[in-house]
Structure 1
Amino acid sequence: MRTREKSYVADHVNDLSPSGIRRFFDLASQMGNVISLGVGEPDFVTPWNVIEASYHSLERGYTAYTANAGLLELRQEINNYLNKNYHVSYNPENQILVTVGASQAIDVAFRAILNPGDEVIVVEPSFVAYAPAVRLAGGIPVTVDATEEFAFNVQADQIEAAITSRTKAILLCSPNNPTGAVLSKQELEAIARVVEQHDLLVISDEIYADLTYDETFTSFAAINGMAERTILVSGFSKAFAMTGWRLGYAAGPKEILAAMTKIHQYTIMCAPTMAQHGALEALKNGMDSVKEMCISYRQRRNFVVKALQDMGLSCHVPGGAFYVFPSIERTGLTSTEFAEQLLQEQRVAVVPGDVFGKSGEGYIRCSYATSMKQLEQAMKRMRTFVEAKIN
């Protein structure tokens, strides 16, 4: 008698869906004349002084492992940067961990704090890796919807309504991927009161903090009483145009960072040495480049938002990151139908909003981290497509 084939893949991995972002990126890569507004990656090349610093580190023979937590000098500069820009301070020796991208920092954070069955409140629409990272760590993601009614900023009472006896932590991302929403200081303070009342932790993904356009960014860790409850996650990919360098970091309470470093020690050893030297240069002498990129992104944001509104799509003005999240409900198409047909008919790649959570249905994510020339052409093509669907 024939028996069912044995699967050697763990059930909890089999249950994970492939990234919806990568699906459309792969589709677009197989077609010609495509303008991609899909992948969240700066079109800028890493600043030359950062590249040169990495070269020089190799020439000087810095090719061995660093400390598990990363170069101490880099951790010191990370603390200086966070203190100067966001008014939070950490002990570089035991409260900062250099990781392989911010994504690894989030993964290690969950593995360090979650017991099987612990719940994590994940605000959606959200980056596609958040809920899977919770599941892979044995936790249960509990989603809360941030809606356009509040400019896609989650409200404290929504979070409180989702808390149960098993809730361990809340995951926040501000500025947000995919909506570009930026939580105000007042909104963060309201969330902080809920966090304190229910004795919770917060993982605060602040990877886009330097790309904030209309108001001063507030770190959740800077809110009174929250430093000891917050694992601050950030990195160099977005603001410094260092996506391929794969370098991030986490900062937080000593006990939690020690646990995270322990996991990092056994799984990664240390982040790449030459990338750490590049990041050190970025923090010391790269902020002017960040400011220039930020000015360019703001101009692109203004252009794209107006273009989308002019073609008849509702689109809130994102306060940060480099994404817009327009509603496409007027077209009568689902998010996936819109993205697939736009790609096939006009060769413009966007990401369906529902890949970022159920509340993203009826929206699409467009990245404006590409040249104005490309954006102008993409908006012309999209306008032709939208007007045909609406009329």
Structure 2
Amino acid sequence: MLHISGAWQRAARGAGLLSPSGELAPTIFAEISAAAVRHDAINLGQGFPDEDGPVEVIDAAISAIRGGVNQYPPGRGMPVLREAIAEHQHRFYGIDLDPEREVLVTAGATEALTATILALVNGPADEVVVFEPFYDSYAAAVALAGARLVPVPLRWPDFEPDLDDLRAAVTDRTRIILVNDPHNPTGTTFSPEVRAEIVRLAHQHDALIVTDEVYEHLVMSGIHAPIATLAGAAERTLTISSGGKTFRTTGWKVGWVSGPADLVDAVLAVKQYLTYVNGAPFQPAIAVGLGLPDGYFEDLSATQRDRRDLLGAGLIAAGFNVSTPAGSYFTIADVRSRIAGDEDAADFCRALPERTGVAAIPVTAFVTPEHRGDYATLVRFASCKRTEIIEEAAHRLAASVR
């Protein structure tokens, strides 16, 4: 029999890819997407746009390809993009970075997160604190590193972490506090009190802070402020983001990590043995995007707000309770009013494409197995599709209860 490594098994189990018997199982994402195709449903399960990004960015990629930018870029990323990232951080947040030493380009934010965790976590003695529900790759990356995942619950309806829960989770065993803000899947943005407490606890327990900020320009209520801008945070914080969500280019997989040079060097040491490098012609194109006028970023947020509100109205008309997100692509609805018998949100989502012509993902896909009961009636809907698609989805959801 073929021997499968323990690290692979840990990662697969952390990502929910193994059945109770240990066999490789399809994800709920694949299952729901297949159901959406079968029933010609609008797929609001997966968080990627259905329209291209700004023409300036697309044209820059085409120009780079035709201009011969098609071979390996530098290991740290092309200088034009690293400089654009540093300029972006200064322009929007007042953060000063050395593009030569404090910025690393990666194959999307997911690689940045994985390489960071593998570089900075030292095995079973270390713990990584996350806010639950969480982006599904977090558990797999922590499992690959052989560390322990420690979740802090985000509870319906506002998904604001309780400070006592946070204090109980962070100990001297904590190596990383992983912060996703704006948050996927809940759409919450963390309050100043929570952010300040994260920094205080990191100092108290000598932990590092790693932030996932891929939705930084998709804040619809308030203004995004990276944790690295707080007093005492920058020297122990790695900030991760990408161009995929901001410029509607998720397939390009261009991300980055920035922060103290010694920490970035550690991430590079791992990253160079993962993808090595990626996306040569897309890197200068994302650099163009980062330099777009303020109006582009303002319009992006305003458009997402309108689509969020359209979707929310349809969900409410369908009889669901809705948690209005402050940021991200996603809206969480409590569907308990439409669940029959002993069904949970996963059963509901499996039937939803046929019942309503709309597909969505149960929030239980984003939590540890032992906590699934706490989220058993919650469903995530994505509002990052074209406005006319969101309008039709809202109409179908509302019509399903008539």
| TM-score normalized by the length of structure 2 | 0.90
Structure 1 residue 178 displacement after superposition: 0.7
> Is 1:185 the equivalent of 2:200?
no
Does the Cα contact within 8 Å between 2:7 and 2:146 map onto a contact in 1? Answer: no
Structure 1 equivalent of residue 24 of structure 2: none
Structure 2 equivalent of residue 126 of structure 1: 134
CA RMSD of aligned residues (A): 1.8
Aligned residue pairs, count: 380
Structure 1 equivalent of residue 301 of structure 2: 294
Structure 1 equivalent of residue 380 of structure 2: 365
> Is 1:20 the equivalent of 2:15?
no
> Is 1:139 the equivalent of 2:151?
no
Does the Cα contact within 8 Å between 1:68 and 1:264 map onto a contact in 2? Answer: no
Structure 2 equivalent of residue 338 of structure 1: 348
Pair 1:113–1:76, CA change in 2 (3 A): same
Amino acid in structure 2 at the alignment position of 1:281: V
1:249-279, Cα deviation, whole Å (9 max, x unpaired): 0011111110111112233222221011111
> Is 1:9 the equivalent of 2:4?
yes
Structure 1 residue 65 displacement after superposition: 2.0
> Is 1:352 the equivalent of 2:339?
no
Mapped partners of 2:291, 2:318: distance in 1: 43
Q: Which runs of 5+ in 2 are unaligned?
A: 18-26
Structure 2 equivalent of residue 383 of structure 1: 398
Equivalent residue for 1:224, pick from 231, 238, 262: 231
Pair 1:215–1:270, CA change in 2 (3 A): same
Structure 1 residue 381 displacement after superposition: 2.5
> Is 1:154 the equivalent of 2:169?
no
Mapped partners of 2:164, 2:384: distance in 1: 34
Q: What does residue range 40-79 of structure 1 map to in structure 2 within 5 Å? A: 40-79=47-86
Structure 1 residue 367 displacement after superposition: 0.3
Structure 2 equivalent of residue 208 of structure 1: 215
Structure 1 residue 306 displacement after superposition: 2.6
Amino acid in structure 1 at the alignment position of 2:155: T
Structure 1 equivalent of residue 20 of structure 2: none
Structure 1 residue 144 displacement after superposition: 1.5
Mapped partners of 2:357, 2:293: distance in 1: 35
Mapped partners of 1:82, 1:62: distance in 2: 26
| TM-score normalized by the length of structure 1 | 0.92
Q: What does residue range 227-238 of structure 1 map to in structure 2 within 5 Å? A: 227-238=234-245
Question: Does the residue aligned with 1:315 lie in a helix, a strand or coil?
Answer: strand
Mapped partners of 1:288, 1:102: distance in 2: 25
Mapped partners of 1:75, 1:293: distance in 2: 23
> Is 1:285 the equivalent of 2:292?
yes
Structure 2 equivalent of residue 374 of structure 1: 389
Question: Does the residue aligned with 2:323 lie in a helix, a strand or coil?
Answer: coil
Amino acid in structure 2 at the alignment position of 1:346: T
Does the Cα contact within 8 Å between 2:107 and 2:278 map onto a contact in 1? Answer: yes
1:30-72, Cα deviation, whole Å (9 max, x unpaired): x142111011012220222112111222232222322211012
Moved more, 224-233 or 99-108: 224-233
> Is 1:271 the equivalent of 2:286?
no
Does the Cα contact within 8 Å between 2:106 and 2:256 map onto a contact in 1? Answer: yes
Structure 1 residue 286 displacement after superposition: 6.3
Q: Which runs of 5+ in 1 are unaligned?
A: 1-5
Q: What does residue range 159-170 of structure 1 map to in structure 2 within 5 Å? A: 159-170=166-177
Structure 2 equivalent of residue 3 of structure 1: none
Does the Cα contact within 8 Å between 2:317 and 2:397 map onto a contact in 1? Answer: no
Does the Cα contact within 8 Å between 1:185 and 1:218 map onto a contact in 2? Answer: no
1:96-145, Cα deviation, whole Å (9 max, x unpaired): 10000000000000011011111101111111111111111221111111
Does the Cα contact within 8 Å between 1:77 and 1:280 map onto a contact in 2? Answer: yes
Mapped partners of 1:92, 1:314: distance in 2: 46
Mapped partners of 2:31, 2:233: distance in 1: 38
Structure 1 residue 379 displacement after superposition: 2.2
Structure 2 equivalent of residue 256 of structure 1: 263
Mapped partners of 1:312, 1:28: distance in 2: 22
Pair 1:88–1:155, CA change in 2 (3 A): farther
Pair 1:356–1:263, CA change in 2 (3 A): same
Does the Cα contact within 8 Å between 1:240 and 1:290 map onto a contact in 2? Answer: no
> Is 1:82 the equivalent of 2:77?
no
Equivalent residue for 1:240, pick from 239, 247, 259: 247
Question: Does the residue aligned with 2:143 lie in a helix, a strand or coil?
Answer: helix
Question: Does the residue aligned with 1:148 lie in a helix, a strand or coil?
Answer: coil
Structure 1 equivalent of residue 22 of structure 2: none
